[in-house]
Amino acid sequence: MFYGYIVVVAAFFTMVLMRGVFSTFGIFFKPMLTDLGWTRAVTSGAFAVSWIIQGLLSIAVGRVNDGLGPRIVISVCGFILGLGFLLMSQTSALWQLYLFYGVIIGTGVSGSFVPITSTVARWFVKKRSTMTGIVLAGTGIGGLIAPLLANWLISIYDWHVSYAILGSIALVAVILVAQLLRRDPAQMGLKPYGEVKEEIELKGSTKAYSLREAASVRQFWLALSMFLCLGFSMFTIMVHIAPHATDLRFSAATSASILATVGGGGVIGRLVLGSVADKIGNRQVFIICFALMAAASFWLIPAAETWALYLLAAVLGFAAGGGAMSESPLVAELFGLRSHGLILGVTSFGYCIGAATGPLLAGYIFDVTSSYNLAFLACAAASIVGLVLSAILRPTKTSKSM
């Protein structure tokens, strides 16, 4: 059996665990507000800090992963992530929220997306987008299960104990699963899947760029800006859709289910659009995703019925999941694999900036206007900008073989 499939399975469960627990912030949001008396903007600020830290460290993590591989990187980051959740169970002051969630959890979760997707890109030439979609479906599965689990735990215990339980699960399970990961097939005397069949097509198709070379071309900055728009729209809604639903007088359980539906839609989006991307290309997938996100964000403003919120959550999850799936393969298509982890880490920093600023801006808008309408309009605008950038993106110039 090709070991790359074991890498895919291990990577899938890593994403379920790490991204799943990270997606629960919206479920803890109101219980923490009620208990500690903070504003929505101040509380959202910790989530923003976690994304900035995650984005900055993803650059370093990508470089380390290019050298040492994912097993060491993810083991260390899994320990830090679990520790952050354990410390969150003791939070009683605002500085603790920013330190424990913003800095420590942000550091831990930096070891998920970039090393995982960069590793998968090294193991697969043929079906690269499909395999990336399967792995990142773990993000959606985690986003489907973890919010429901967190809401159930909070209803039985409280948010303090719930953080401790989730942290214990993440700390132990991530370290165990990470031991199955390997950086690339060469470490085991193997070749990437599809390399023999695809090598003729790959010759002359994409130059193997260094980070400095990549940053000198227009496509690098277009990709970074696209990822920023995706992160802004996706995480503004991920963080605030559950509080928005409770503001519409839906129960906490229903609000958690709506957030979980975003995760479920993300699973389908990553699997379906991963397969589609191998046929039509990742740029075209981004165009589809941004168009869906823009339409859904506009519709979210008047939506007030249960079925509408569930449908919108599914569409937004589908589109956001497909876009996230296409990031790593798109970077491989544009810049090759020589410094894939480092380049992906830098371009994904744009995604992290969007994910940080979007929820913070939405919290501030709500505090000022007592409504999320302007925030959802901002999501629609960001999606339209991403759509335009995707439409004008073109392949990099051909050069020597990867």
The whole-angstrom separation of Cα 190 and Cα 192 is 7
Q: How many domains does the chain have?
A: 1
Please compute the mean of the pLDDT values over residues 29-33 and round it to a whole number.
Answer: 83
Q: What is the DSSP string of 337-397?
A: STTHHHHHHHHHHHHHHHHHHHHHHHHHHHHHHS-SHHHHHHHHHHHHHHHHHHHH--PPP
Measured from the Cβ of residue 200, the count of other Cβ atoms closer than 10 Å reads: 9
Least confidently predicted of 6-20, 163-177, 238-252: 238-252
The answer, yes or no, to whether residue 131 has pLDDT greater than 80, is yes
Segments forming the whole domain that contains residue 119: 3-183+206-392
Question: What pLDDT is recorded for position 198?
Answer: 43
Least confidently predicted of 121-125, 149-153, 380-384: 121-125
Measured in degrees and rounded to the nearest 5, phi and psi for residue 3 equal -65, -20
Q: Dump pLDDT digits (tens) for 317-328.
A: 899 888 988 888
Q: Is residue 334 part of a domain?
A: yes
Q: Dump pLDDT digits (tens) for 178-207.
A: 999 988 888 788 888 776 544 434 444 456
Please compute the mean of the pLDDT values over residues 5-27 and round it to a whole number.
Answer: 90
Q: Is residue 119 part of a domain?
A: yes
Question: What pLDDT is recorded for position 207?
Answer: 61
The answer, yes or no, to whether residue 110 has pLDDT greater than 50, is yes
Q: Is residue 71 part of a domain?
A: yes
The answer, yes or no, to whether residue 399 has pLDDT greater than 80, is no
List CB contacts of 368: < 8 A, sequence separation 6 or more: none
User: What 3-state DSSP class applies to 124?
Assistant: strand
Predicted TM-score (pTM) of this structure = 0.75
Q: Is residue 383 part of a domain?
A: yes
When pLDDT is cut at 50, 70 and 90, the band that residue 226 belongs to is very high
Q: Is residue 189 part of a domain?
A: no
Q: Is residue 137 part of a domain?
A: yes
Token digits of residue 183: 């950086």
The whole-angstrom separation of Cα 210 and Cα 208 is 7
The whole-angstrom separation of Cα 11 and Cα 132 is 10
**Amino acid identity at 4:** G
Q: Dump pLDDT digits (tens) for 308-365.
A: 889 989 999 899 888 988 888 899 888 887 788 888 888 988 888 898 888 888 888 9
Question: What pLDDT is recorded for position 363?
Answer: 85
The whole-angstrom separation of Cα 286 and Cα 277 is 9
Q: Dump pLDDT digits (tens) for 256-271.
A: 888 888 878 888 888 8
Q: Dump pLDDT digits (tens) for 260-310.
A: 888 788 888 888 988 888 888 889 999 999 999 999 999 888 888 888 889
Rounded alpha-carbon distances, angstroms, from residue 168 to 10, 23, 80, 118: 19, 16, 11, 27
Question: What pLDDT is recorded for position 196?
Answer: 58
Q: Is residue 377 part of a domain?
A: yes
Q: Dump pLDDT digits (tens) for 36-54.
A: 888 878 887 888 888 889 8
List CB contacts of 76: < 8 A, sequence separation 6 or more: 111
When pLDDT is cut at 50, 70 and 90, the band that residue 6 belongs to is very high
Token digits of residue 364: 């501030």
Q: Is residue 402 part of a domain?
A: no
Instruction: Provide the H-helix boundaries in 281-305.
Output: 282-300
The answer, yes or no, to whether residue 254 has pLDDT greater than 60, is yes
| 329, β-bridge pairs | none
Token digits of residue 143: 């986003």
The whole-angstrom separation of Cα 43 and Cα 41 is 6
Most confident of the ranges 98-112, 234-248, 324-338, 353-367: 98-112
Question: What pLDDT is recorded for position 201?
Answer: 40
User: What 3-state DSSP class applies to 183?
Assistant: coil
Rounded alpha-carbon distances, angstroms, from residue 87 to 26, 91, 164, 341: 18, 7, 8, 30
| 193, β-bridge pairs | 124
What CATH number corresponds to the domain at position 315?
1.20.1250.20
Task: List the one residue out of 147, 36, 57 whose CA is nearest residue 102.
Answer: 57
